Amino acid sequence: MIIAVDGPSASGKGTVAKIISEYFQINYLDTGLLYRALAFKTIKNYKTASLKNALKVVNGLTEDDLSDPQLRLQKFGEIASKLAKEKQIRDALLAFQRNFPNQSNGAVLDGRDIGSIVFPEAQIKLFVTAKLSVRALRRQKDMKRMGQNISFKDVEASLKARDHRDINRAIAPLVCLTDATVVDTSNIPFGSLKKEIIEIVEKKYKSLSLGSSE
C-alpha cells in the first residue's frame, strides 16, 4: 500500500504523513528533505548551489543525509525549491523515492509530486492545504524553535515565492489531483485532524479491498 501526501510548504502534510505512518505502522519518507539535503550538501561541498555542483552530489545522497535538523532552515528550503525546478535533479532523485517502499510492505511519502509523478499508481492520495497566513505563522514558530527569528512578513513572502515556483514550474508542478482527497488543516486541532485522517484512509482502504474481491 502506497499513500501519497502532497501539498504546499507548511500545509501540515508532514503531520498528516506522520499520523498515517504511526497509526498504520508503515514507513514514512519526507521527500522535501531529499531536496533540502541536496541543497545542504551542495553548499557544504562546493559553497554555491549551482546546477553543475548539485549534479555532482545528487547521486550520492543516502538516508543518513536526511537527519540533520539544519535541513529545516529557511535558506535550505529556498535553495531546494530552486534546484527542484531542474529535470536532471528530479530524475536523479526518482529512484531513491521509488525504492523507498521496497524496504517494507508499503509506505507513506509526502512532497509535491508524489501522487502525480513518483507514484501515480498510489492507492491513496491526499492533498493537504491551509491558508497562507496560517502556514506562515506555523513556519515562523518552527523557525523560532530553531533559533531563527524571522518576521511574519518575510516568512509569508518566502512561502509565497516557493508556492509560485512549485506550482508554476514546467516539470512536476504541485497540483491538486482529481483523484486526491483534499484535507484543509487551517482551523483543525490535532486530535480532530488525526481522527479525520484515519477515517479517510480506513474508508479508502475498505473500498479498495472490496473492489479487488469482486
Contacting residues toward ligand C5P, per CB under 6 A: 9, 31-32, 35-36, 77, 80-81, 84, 111-113, 162, 166
Shortest approach of ligand C5P to residue 178 CB, angstroms?
19
Q: 34 vs 197, which CB is nearer to ligand C5P?
A: 34
- Comparing CB distances to ligand C5P, the nearer of 9 and 185 is 9
Tell me which residue has cell 530553531.
146
Smallest distance, ligand C5P to C-beta of residue 80, A: 4
Residue 140 Cα to chain centre, angstroms:
18
Helices (H) and strands (E) in the chain, counts: 8, 5
As measured in angstroms, the least distance from the Cβ of 58 to ligand C5P is: 13
* CA 86 – CA 19 distance, rounded (Å): 31
Is residue 196 within 8 Å of residue 126, measured between CB atoms? no
Nearer to ligand C5P, 31 or 42 (CB): 31
Separation between Cα atoms, residue 12 and residue 135, nearest integer Å: 8
**C-beta of 111: minimal distance to ligand C5P in Å?**
2
Cβ 202 to ligand C5P shortest distance, Å: 25
Cell representation of residue 138: 506555523
Q: Look at the chain and count its residues.
A: 214
SS3 at position 68: coil
- Strand order of the β-sheet with 107-111 is 27-30, 107-111, 2-6, 124-129, 181-184
CB of 214 to ligand C5P, least distance (A): 34
The nearer residue to ligand C5P, 84 or 108, going by C-beta atoms, is: 84
Task: Closer to ligand C5P by CB, 144 or 214: give it.
Answer: 144
Please, which residue, 160 or 205, has the CB nearer to ligand C5P? 160
> What's the one-letter identity of residue 210?
L
